[in-house]
């Protein structure tokens, strides 16, 4: 037996296997994941595992290494998030998101830091040795909302798109602020005296870290798109470039102390449309599938490790400090959201309702990023207290808030995400309105959102596409692409039902899709058509229409981490095919 | 700048990126890969890289780590090979393959070892300090044909299936023999005296290492199949299990000193049919694509590292030893193939021709496995000589033999692989003959190949499928699956051509496929049919048939590492779609 030799890959594989099997286990009992979020279950598995390891070895189980977390586990999740980010709602709400992410996070950091410092002044709590700077450092790591935790919970509750993008976008973009504040306070802790120059340099750094991340990401994204122009003869390595360039953008940003999360998101969003046009359909399926798979595994591992790391002797318990941390986290976030939303609502017609505000404040979950940052702190005598407080805040937000947010959403009747994909008719209308508004803004001389979008689109089709796309002379509009996709899907369904070519002539799918998209669903019976066709044919058409309508209702399930869009149930399909085949025989 | 922090993942990503970009570079110039095999080009890139590193640092560039090779680079290639192994030709020729792999390899090891020992006795060569045992040890590592090198060359020359499987199967299965002999001689080298018991134990080990590998592989394969029964609700992590279980089988086998290559191949072949039935179509695409991608990258990295590692000061040059090593490798392999094939041909009706024998002998390429094994040798004063000899043999076989084998195949007019996939008619005939032969063997009491195959199939459908498949009550025959696949493909093509449902009723695709598969291609014109149909409709049908025939001719490109089966040219398709769309308008 030569275990030493294979230890590293063997143990990694086993951990991944455990995570995947745990995931399968939960989904075997359908009721469980619908009550408790998966993240809670996974932390629970981790706690049990940690307990077993602690019991067997009689020493603390290994703590999740911050390097492993930031270099290997976090990038896949953020890449997945960036690549599948719905770009329209994101850019429509970018102002609000940035306000929450930058001003909101700073507000939370200083709010929590100063109030905890106030608590430390109470003599009875015996916390007088924790300085203001240490409290602010702690505030900077505990204030950041965690994208992994938010994603895990919000994907399951299906709130409306705007609410989702507000919370999720904030959790992604606050990384730049957190990185700057955390590093700033940490270096202040080590400095003997702090000059005002250092404080101003810190403020300047916000822009460098954030915009630098965007620049690094976009340059890697465009390079990736340019590279895929030349992969026509070796299709199999196409998916690789998507992963390699995004990962490089993350690592490069981290290397220069910029925001890696912002970089990888810019990279993914920048390359997506060009890469998708260049690579083959199967490569694209692989990219999508593998990204989902990878992020799903990373996410599972993170929560399990979080559970395992909780067990052990790293903690120093101090009731007042820990309780007040939880309370201040809740209060300052709620206050921040209220104040910021008040200003946001003054400038927007489409306001954020008070229900939405409550969910935004309540959805501020903390997760593995805080946990990794607290372990990265320099050693000082109260580090174990900070670790304990962070662990409690994470467990509180993930368990209590994560488990109650779904019933609260039901109770408050928060507007849900629509379950169906937009119809072709809707898409045409949206596009038409975009053009109209861009024209209005152009004429009135108002440089608004639509004006810039139009200019960007012009720049894209005039220069970028020529450089980055292999066949730039065929710019297909998204409507045509959608039509092709629908036709392809329809054809596959027909083939599976054994109807291809056997039955009578059928009306085009697009036609029926349009009929369906008209809201009143009146069947336009052209008099002339009725005259020339006999009743049998008409019945037949009605039947086909009915079937197509049924199909449309079935399409477009709500977005979910565990399924890919457009995936249908094979057992159901198989049954249907069998029945249809029998009938046709 | 914080390079230390991200060094490991950054450098790994950069190496993979370099490898992928080199691959793209070659394929940009279509002429280059058709003359020089890719493996040669990659080694060449590696040599240049190594030269640059050597020139800049003035010390030997890093040598490929044997652990990295055996634990991370080799498994993906072998997994890909095992998963896409054509099982029918493999099992039909399993006897011959095993004979070449076991007896042939032992023949080569002892032949090369003893002849080199003879050379060492010549005083003028100054090699008298190399003992017989060291020569045998060297023989055991240099005798093994390398699957990676064989695959890289044979995939590009498209010889007939039987010839391909003979060389490739041998290169895979000789791993068990190489492992045993190499470890045996290495332990003998360290023993003071060798008892005859040790020799017998060594012989017994062959069976343990080989059969143990098969057992480990099959058990992991069946567990993988069983696991995918329960993944219905979380489709995205399905592909993961295929990779995790195969890798675990490899690591477990290596841990117990069994043959990892044999284990991973058994695992892949064992799980394939069950996993494919359980997982979704998109998961399956991802599995196939990712396997290809991964093996392609590993293979590229191996050849580049091979080039890099060649440069440096690890070599001790001794003309006679190195020249005679190359000569003996060639001679003993040729003799071995001649003698073994003589015996094989006496027991088979379908004999191996002398041309085929020549290609089998000539295709015995050495590669990275030898290279890694020679670096794993315990330190002794002539190790650098062995390294030099191994490097020369590898470069000679990959460059000289690899580059001349294609012209030789052309010159000898070796039977090529047929370019088209077998038609439905052929498949039905093959299956019918299988059943017939199984029946004949059963009646005549002869326990032959078909008898066992039939028994295995019975066992499979009676027990295994019930345990391992999610829907075991619907055992679809491969003919039905093929039909479904063809219909689906046809439907997509119709949808892309914009013909779906618009045109007149079309005859089923299966019908035309059958017409096409009948060898004489007579069009059966039913008298009655002709009476009822007017000439226009008949013309229409003829045209559709003609188009379908064209389509069938286009399917089934020859197997190639760089393409997946059934992938068509998107530009060509796009053009066709445009033309057809214009016409229909």
ipTM: 0.76
pLDDT band at B541, cuts 50/70/90? low
Contact assessment for residue B168 and residue B559, using Cβ atoms and an 8 Å cutoff = no
**Range in A529-543, B260-274, B367-381 with the lowest mean pLDDT:** A529-543
| Alpha-carbon distance values, B173 to A6, A218, B179, B261 (Å) | 22, 48, 11, 8
What angle is formed at CA B229 by the lines to CA B224 and CA B235, rounded to 5 degrees? 95
Least confident range of A379-393, B14-28, B94-108, B305-319: B305-319
Question: Distance from A485 to chain B by nearest Cα, in Å?
Answer: 9
Report whether A483 contacts B500 (CB < 8 A): no
- Average pLDDT of A50-57? 86
Question: What is the percentage of chain B residues whose pLDDT exceeds 70?
Answer: 81
Residue A574 pLDDT: 54
What phi, psi does B14 have (nearest 5°)? -65, -40
- Please tell me the distance in Å from B455's CA to the nearest CA on chain A: 29
**A&B contacts, CB < 8 Å:** 239
Tell me the per-residue pLDDT of A303-339, one tens digit each, with 9 for 90 and over.
898 888 888 777 888 888 999 999 999 999 999 999 9
**A248 and B14: CB-CB below 8 Å?**
yes
B205: its two tokens: 């080990």
- Contact by Cβ (8 Å): B138, B373: no
Most confident of B92-106, B170-184, B456-470: B92-106
Whether A515 shows a pLDDT value over 50: the answer reads no
Which of B471, B505, B574 minimises the CB distance to A571?
B471
Three-state DSSP at A159 gives strand
Looking at chain A, the whole-number percentage of residues with pLDDT higher than 70 is 81
Sequence ranges of the domains in chain A: 64-412, 425-481
Query: What's the pLDDT band for A184 if we cut at 50, 70, 90?
Result: confident
A480 has a pLDDT exceeding 90:
no
Query: In this structure, what token pair is assigned to residue B361?
Result: 């002998």
Q: B65 or B245: whose pLDDT is higher?
A: B245
* B13 close to A248: Cβ distance less than 8 angstroms: yes
Helix (H, G, I), strand (E, B) or coil at A416: strand
Average pLDDT over every residue of B235-243: 88
Average pLDDT over residues A355-376: 89
Which of A519-533, B19-33, B168-182 has the highest mean predicted lDDT (pLDDT)? B168-182
Of the two residues B233 and A302, the one the predictor is more confident about is A302
- A62, A308 Cβ separation under 8 angstroms: yes
**Which residues does A463 contact at the CB level (< 8 Å), separation at least 6?**
none
CA angle, A424 then A429 then A431, to 5°: 95
Band of the pLDDT at A248, cuts 50, 70, 90?
Answer: very high
Q: Calculate what percentage of chain A has a pLDDT beyond 90.
A: 23
Question: What's the Rg (C-alpha) of chain B?
Answer: 27
- A127-132, long-range: CB < 8 A, 24+ apart: A127/A318, A127/A320, A127/A321, A129/A381, A129/A382, A130/A321, A130/A382, A130/A385
Domain A64-412: which CATH number of 3.30.420, 3.30.1540, 1.20.1530, 1.10.3470? 1.20.1530
CB-CB contact of A196 with A446 (8 Å): no
Q: What is the structure's pLDDT at B138?
A: 92
CB A142 within 8 A of CB A329: yes
Higher pLDDT, B464 or B567: B464
Do A24 and B561 make contact, defined as CB atoms within 8 angstroms? no
Lowest model confidence (mean pLDDT) among A481-495, B109-123, B256-270: A481-495
pLDDT band at residue A3 under the 50/70/90 scheme: confident
Cβ pair A484:B502 closer than 8 A: no
| Chain B residues closer than 8 Å to A237 by CB | 20, 23-24, 293, 296-297
Better pLDDT: A475 or B342: B342
Considering only CB atoms, B231 lies closest to which of A14, A24, A495, namely A24
pLDDT band, very low/low/confident/very high, at B486 (cuts 50, 70, 90): confident
- Percentage of chain B modeled with pLDDT above 90: 23
Tell the residue number behind the tokens 């083939």, with chain if given.
A495
pLDDT for the residue numbered B499: 59
B299: closest CA among B395, B363, B367?
B367
pLDDT of A583 higher than 70: no
- Residue A479 pLDDT: 62
The mean-pLDDT minimum among A164-178, A453-467, B75-89, B220-234 falls in: A453-467
B363 vs B504 pLDDT, higher one = B363
Look at the alpha carbons of A428, A433, A439, A442 in this order and tell me if their dihedral is positive or negative. Answer: negative
Long-range contacts of range A319-325, CB-CB < 8 Å, 24 or more positions apart?
Answer: A320/A119, A320/A122, A320/A125, A320/A127, A321/A116, A321/A119, A321/A120, A321/A125, A321/A127, A321/A130, A321/A385, A321/A389, A322/A388, A322/A389, A322/A392, A324/A115, A324/A116, A324/A119, A325/A112, A325/A116, A325/A142, A325/A389, A325/A392, A325/A393
pLDDT at residue A266 in the model: 94
What pLDDT band is residue A170 in, cutting at 50, 70 and 90?
very high
pLDDT of residue A477: 59
Contact B509 A490 (CB under 8 A): no
Pick the more confident residue, B414 or B256: B256
pLDDT of A393:
94
* Poorest-pLDDT segment among A429-433, B330-334, B358-362, B404-408: A429-433
- Does B487 sit within 8 Å of A491, measured CB to CB? no
A474, B237: Cβ pair inside 8 Å?
Answer: no
CB B159 within 8 A of CB B409: yes
Q: How many CA atoms are closer than 13 Å to the CA of A107, on its beta-carbon side? A: 18
| pLDDT band, residue B341 (cuts 50/70/90) | very high
Q: Do residue B282 and residue A283 have CB atoms under 8 angstroms apart?
A: no
- Mean pLDDT computed over A486-500: 69
Tokens 């089966």 correspond to B565
Q: Is A528's pLDDT higher than 50? A: no
Residues A38, A346: Cα–Cα separation, whole Å:
38
Decide if pLDDT at A399 tops 60. Answer: yes
The H-or-E segment that residue B173 falls in is helix B161-190
Of residues B1, B255, B500, nearest to A2 (C-beta)? B255
What average pLDDT does range A150-163 have in this prediction?
85
Would the pLDDT of B538 be above 80?
no
Q: What does the pLDDT read at residue B539?
A: 64
Whether the per-residue pLDDT at B508 is higher than 50: the answer is no
Min mean pLDDT across A109-118, A545-554, B131-140, B446-455 is at: A545-554
Instruction: Locate the chain B residue with the closest alpha carbon to A24.
Output: B231
Cβ separation of A30 and B233 shorter than 8 Å? yes
Instruction: Pick from A501, A507, A575, A585 the residue to mutate for testing the B interface (most B CBs within 10 Å).
Output: A501
Nearest CB to A251: which of B6, B251, B508?
Answer: B6
Q: Provide the token pair at A130.
A: 């924790």
Higher-pLDDT residue of A36 and A540 is A36
Distances (CA, A) of B456 to A38, B90, B449, B459: 42, 16, 11, 5
3-state secondary structure of B351: coil
* pLDDT at residue A268, rounded to an integer: 94
Which chain B residues have a beta carbon less than 8 Å from that of A72? 9
SS3 at position B241:
helix
Q: State residue B414 phi and psi, 5-degree precision.
A: -65, 140
Give the pLDDT confidence score for residue A500 in this predicted structure. 56
The DSSP code sequence of A439-495 is HHHHHHT---HHHHHHHHHHHIIIIIHHHH-TTTT----HHHHHHHHHHHHHHHHHH
In this predicted structure, the answer to whether residue A183 has a pLDDT above a threshold of 90 is no
Per-residue pLDDT averaged across B10-15, rounded?
Answer: 90
How far is the C-alpha of A71 from the C-alpha of B78, rounded, in Å?
A: 28
Residue B551 — pLDDT band, cuts 50, 70, 90?
Answer: very low
B288 or B419: which carries more pLDDT confidence? Answer: B288
Average pLDDT, chain A: 80
**DSSP assigned state of B561:** T
Residue from the list A17, A234, A495 with its beta carbon closest to the beta carbon of B491:
A495
CB neighbours of A280 closer than 8 A, spacing ≥ 6?
A235, A238, B567, B570
Indicate whether B353 pLDDT > 50.
yes
Distance CA B410, CA B158 (A): 11
Q: DSSP secondary structure string, A37-54?
A: -HHHHHHHHHHHHHHHHH
Q: What is the CA radius of gyration of chain A?
A: 27
From B69's Cα to the closest Cα of chain A, the distance in A is: 12
Instruction: Give tens-digit pLDDT for A190-242.
Output: 777 777 777 788 778 888 888 999 999 999 999 999 999 888 878 888 889 99
Average pLDDT of the residues in B415-419: 74
Per-residue confidence (pLDDT) for residue A563, from 0 to 100: 43
Alpha carbons A437 and A453: distance in angstroms, whole number: 11
The answer to which of A487-496, B63-72, B507-516 has the lowest mean pLDDT is B507-516
Q: What is the dihedral of CA A391, A393, A397, A399, to 10 degrees?
A: 40
Mean pLDDT confidence for B271-283: 87
Q: Is the pLDDT of residue A347 over 80?
A: yes
Q: Give contacts of B571 with chain A, Cβ < 8 Å.
A: 232, 471
- Report the alpha-carbon distance of residue B163 to residue B154 in Å, rounded: 10
């Amino acid at each position: 037996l030569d275990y030493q030799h294979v230890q590293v890959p063997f143990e990694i594989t086993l951990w991944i296997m455990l995570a995947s099997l745990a995931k399968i286990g939960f989904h075997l009992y359908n009721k469980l994941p619908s009550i408790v979020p998966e993240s809670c279950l996974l932390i629970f598995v981790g706690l049990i595992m940690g307990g077993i390891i602690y019991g067997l070895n009689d020493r603390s189980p290994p703590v999740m290494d911050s390097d492993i977390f930031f270099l290997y586990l976090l990038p896949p999740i953020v890449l997945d998030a960036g690549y599948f980010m719905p770009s329209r709602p994101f850019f429509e709400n970018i102002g609000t998101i940035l306000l929450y992410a930058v001003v909101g996070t700073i507000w939370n950091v200083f709010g929590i830091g100063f109030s905890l410092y106030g608590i430390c002044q109470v003599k009875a709590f015996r916390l007088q040795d924790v300085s203001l700077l240490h409290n602010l450092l702690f505030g900077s790591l505990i204030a950041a909302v965690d994208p992994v935790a938010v994603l895990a919970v919000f994907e399951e509750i299906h709130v409306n798109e705007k609410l989702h993008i507000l919370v999720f976008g904030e959790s992604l973009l606050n990384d730049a602020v957190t990185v700057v504040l955390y590093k700033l306070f940490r270096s202040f802790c080590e400095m003997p005296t702090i000059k005002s120059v250092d404080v101003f340099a810190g403020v300047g750094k916000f822009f460098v870290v954030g915009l630098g991340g965007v620049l690094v990401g976009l340059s890697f994204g465009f390079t990736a798109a340019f590279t895929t122009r030349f992969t026509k003869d070796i299709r199999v390595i196409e998916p690789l470039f998507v992963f390699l360039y995004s990962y490089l953008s993350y690592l490069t940003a981290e290397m220069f102390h910029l925001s890696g999360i912002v970089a990888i998101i810019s990279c993914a969003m920048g390359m997506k449309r060009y890469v998708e046009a260049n690579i083959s359909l199967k490569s694209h399926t692989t990219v999508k599938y593998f990204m989902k798979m990878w992020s799903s595994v990373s996410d599972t591992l993170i929560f399990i490790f979080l559970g395992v790391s909780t067990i052990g002797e790293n903690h120093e318990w101090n009731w007042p400090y820990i309780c007040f941390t939880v309370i201040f986290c809740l209060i300052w976030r709620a206050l921040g959201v209220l104040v910021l939303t008040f200003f946001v609502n003054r400038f927007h017609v489409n306001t954020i309702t008070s229900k939405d505000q409550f969910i935004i404040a309540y959805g501020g979950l903390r997760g593995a990023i805080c946990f990794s940052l607290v372990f990265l702190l320099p050693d000082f005598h109260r580090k174990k207290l900070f670790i304990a407080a962070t662990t409690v805040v994470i467990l509180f937000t993930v368990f209590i808030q994560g488990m109650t947010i779904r019933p609260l959403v039901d109770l408050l009747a928060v507007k849900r995400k629509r379950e169906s994909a937009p119809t072709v008719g809707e898409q045409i209308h949206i596009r038409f309105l975009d053009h109209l508004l861009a024209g209005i803004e152009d004429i009135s001389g108002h440089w608004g959102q639509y004006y810039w979008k139009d200019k960007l689109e012009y720049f894209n089709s005039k220069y970028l596409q020529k450089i980055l796309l292999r066949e730039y002379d065929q710019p297909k509009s998204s409507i045509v692409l959608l039509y092709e996709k629908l036709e392809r899907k329809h054809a596959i369904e027909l083939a599976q039902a054994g109807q291809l070519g056997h039955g009578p002539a059928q009306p085009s799918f697009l036609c029926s899709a349009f009929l369906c998209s008209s809201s009143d669903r009146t069947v336009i019976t052209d008099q002339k058509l009725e005259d020339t066709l006999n009743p049998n044919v008409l019945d037949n058409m009605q039947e086909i229409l009915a079937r197509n309508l049924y199909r449309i209702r079935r399409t477009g399930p709500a977005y979910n981490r565990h399924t890919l869009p457009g995936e249908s149930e094979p057992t159901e399909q198989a049954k249907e095919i069998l029945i249809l085949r029998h009938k046709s025989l």
